Chain A
């Protein structure tokens, strides 16, 4: 298919490319002083992966979005199959089986499953005639998200599983569900937090009742929501006991980073030191002592933003954060103008994935979000993640190019 290349959204592509190139530079800085030659070459590998990702993006731009619309449930099914397979034959890394080893390349099925859920849900919402707040619509779409999320949780990977719910929420929102319902749907999690003390929980439940009375969501929905709130609050200790050690320590660390400064809280503390010591201007490229002397853990992946903060200071951080902001702005604009509902939902869902990882990752490096192990889109080292994000960019650019199609 021939395209009119001048009509592509080059501003969006430019923003994503700028972020990717900044990522390559930061990876270079993060691994420059490594004793392992393999690690020192990470930026080269990331560059190669960027080429691959751009190629994948270009291919997707050339594939008509309608084709994906037709194949949406098939892609979703492929994702589920891969997720099931990885549980059986996947290779374990760092206590979690998340990857297929395919020689030099390792394939993360969760990325395929994310695309699968994205297009699957987009198709579901695009063609369903059920009213936006009908119970069946909510339930069916939830089942679509819960199945892959449950498989991911089995690996176990809480952070990635959350991405699936984020896609679901984003599409609920963009398909017209009232934000108040979204609040109600998330409320059991708030209940879980409030249940840490019986008094706060009691106050919370009274507030919830008042909210239900005002919202009038219908008898069944209201009762279900309230029961869920009650249940979540009561099973807090139960869940806590069932959690893996690293999950528990991540939560404790998030609540109190100083709890074990040489253990789990170490990463957060060192990340904050790195960013804070960068100051306004930063210490300069390749001059970050936190990064160079190994104080910053996982600095080429999860904590790449901390390297940025240390070496390029507040100005560098602002540049990257605002670049992301601009990217989201373009994406929302595209979602809004798409005439095809499927395209709109794909764009909205894709944006929500990028937005969620952006918030969680940077929040983590600043110490205002728990450590989840989610990389920063476009910047963190990791080939499959880079391909995934450029796939999303490809989908968005494609949707934008075809915005007039129904």
Chain B
């Protein structure tokens, strides 16, 4: 290397060479992008301009057995923010006072639902029309907001229906892992309770997809050529076995008490006619986004409005259980219809303990059916002793206790059937006494049943021992008009012979019609009625009142079970409650019989 100058022609060659190298590098770069990375870049280009929008289908409507709407959909506005178009410090700040959410909450919702910065992220469902009018009028104050037509689930049935309808809510981030990602997204509406949850996939229908071509700003140009829109398929409508008249009455009669539950079933097919749990909650307030304050107020309520007492309330069955004790006694030939025990003088001495009868005057000497009539504890104590804990336990299980009934509602409790194995594990071997059999024989102690299980058992008693699986949905109608009927199915048979069943039914008749019956007040001239009172001992307060009734007794069409918490004796409180419901049912039947056909033309609002 020296200081020798390049000749002009050297400079020319060098300059030309440099240009050639530059152009070569450019061409290599172009070939790399346009040939080798062409497919990747094309895909990126497509995804740039393609916006996939879900089309939410109409959720299935629920009708009662007479075609009255229970749950439908109401048009509404959903307010969204397009994050890329939002002006920080302006949009949210101006929006907050109009829609009544604070800025922090809006931000929180936005973060939850945002998919991309260019897609509208819903921040509030069901914004009142007046608010939308304000937003429209002062649109300049709210850059980046948009609103879409949407539907809000509307629960139109009388209060108490939420016990079976349940409600829908937005899928939260802790639930997202438990559902099919093909069907649900964060923020999708999903059934949270009741039928809405049980039949969610049928009710929700099939989501459609719109393929849109968009500008970089997110503004929609139009449909995306080459990708036709996939239409949404509406959810199936359902016809429920519930009779809203009975349902409404069931809630009304509980209104004067603290808490309770009523369930009415047609024993001939297992159709649920009414199902209410009191107090309930406002399903409309719960559908969509549940505010923090609503949630705390409901969960902190000592009456537990969210607890569905029919399915999850666990109570000792009290005297309603005595039908099992007597049934088991007859089946096991421990007694026959003329057997008697030591007479009742208001109690029974067992070892060192004196077990009282509920009537301290005593009942004297009774046969089995009359022991049911008078609900005599002393008779049952002695029968229980003769049968033993495990025989009683076995019969309980065979009568459907200790396991879910299989009703088409989610989250049903199993209850508890105590037996030797249970007591051994609970107290230790030989650390408990046979006296527990006495308690079990009158339905107290550790036995726990749900009102639904009890109603199911009485359905068996009413229906010649054949128990149909309790269910609410009778038929589903697909959007194409196709109707799918859900046929009643036999769940199990009671472990009682015809003669035993006849004896038990006679006992139920005597409870209402006998001279010493505990539910004599239900006796009437119009129709025959049978049933059994019960009082569940409650160590935490006043006893719970039970009554399970059925009518017409010759061939029962309705079995109605009621529990009224902390209300005292079944005969005084629960029996009249059930009596009213059965009365309405029978009046409807005898007066104007208007039971709807399956798939009857629905009434549109």
Residues of A near any B CB (own CB < 8 A): 132-133, 173-174, 176, 178-180, 214-216, 262, 270, 272-280, 289-290, 293-295, 309, 313-314, 317-318, 321-322, 324-325, 328-329, 332-333, 335-336, 344, 348, 355, 359, 362-363, 366, 368
Contacts and interface: CB of A to CB of B under 8 A. Distances in A.
A215 B4 CA distance: 11
Indicate the member of B15, B23, B25 with the most A CB atoms within 10 Å: B15
Contacts of A290: 45, 48-49
A318 B22 CA distance: 13
Given A276-B40, A277-B41, A293 B213 contact: yes
A368 B37 CA distance: 15
Interface string B300-333: 0000000000000000000000000000000000
A179 B6 contact: yes
Nearest to A333: B12
Nearest to A329: B16
Contacts of B33: 272, 275-276, 309, 366
A314 B35 contact: yes
B213 to A, nearest CB: 7
Contacts of B30: 275, 309, 314, 317-318, 321, 366
Interface in B1-36: 1, 3-6, 8-9, 11-12, 14-16, 19-20, 22-23, 25-27, 29-31, 33-35
Indicate the member of B25, B29, B35, B42 with the most A CB atoms within 10 Å: B29
A123 B48 CA distance: 53
Interface in B391-433: none
A320 to B, nearest CB: 10
B215 A332 contact: no
B38 interface: yes
Prevailing SS type, chain B contact patch: helix
A176 B217 CA distance: 53
A272 B23 contact: no
30 contacts: A173-B15, A174-B11, A178-B3, A178-B4, A178-B5, A273-B41, A273-B44, A273-B45, A274-B45, A276-B44, A277-B42, A277-B44, A277-B45, A278-B34, A280-B38, A289-B45, A289-B48, A290-B45, A290-B48, A290-B49, A294-B215, A294-B217, A318-B30, A321-B23, A332-B19, A336-B11, A336-B12, A355-B19, A363-B29, A366-B30
B41 A332 contact: no
A317 B32 CA distance: 13
The 5 A-B pairs with the shortest beta carbon distances in the complex, nearest first, are A276-B41, A277-B45, A294-B216, A276-B33, A314-B34
B49 A176 contact: no
B6 A295 contact: no
Contact of B38 (A132, A279, A355): A279
Given A290-B45, A314-B31, A328 B11 contact: no
A174 B1 CA distance: 19
A63 to B, nearest CB: 26
A273 B6 contact: no
Contacts of A180: 1
B104 to A, nearest CB: 24
A197 B333 CA distance: 98
Contacts of A324: 23
B221 A309 contact: no
B12 A332 contact: yes
A246 B294 CA distance: 49
B217 A178 contact: no
Contacts of B26: 321, 362-363, 366
Contact of A214 (B1, B5, B25): B1
Contacts of B117: 262
Contacts of B8: 336, 344
A178 B2 CA distance: 9
A335 B215 contact: no
Contacts of B598: none
A280 B35 contact: yes
B202 interface: no
B156 interface: no
Given A309-B30, A318-B27, A279 B35 contact: yes
B88 to A, nearest CB: 15
Contacts of B44: 273, 276-277
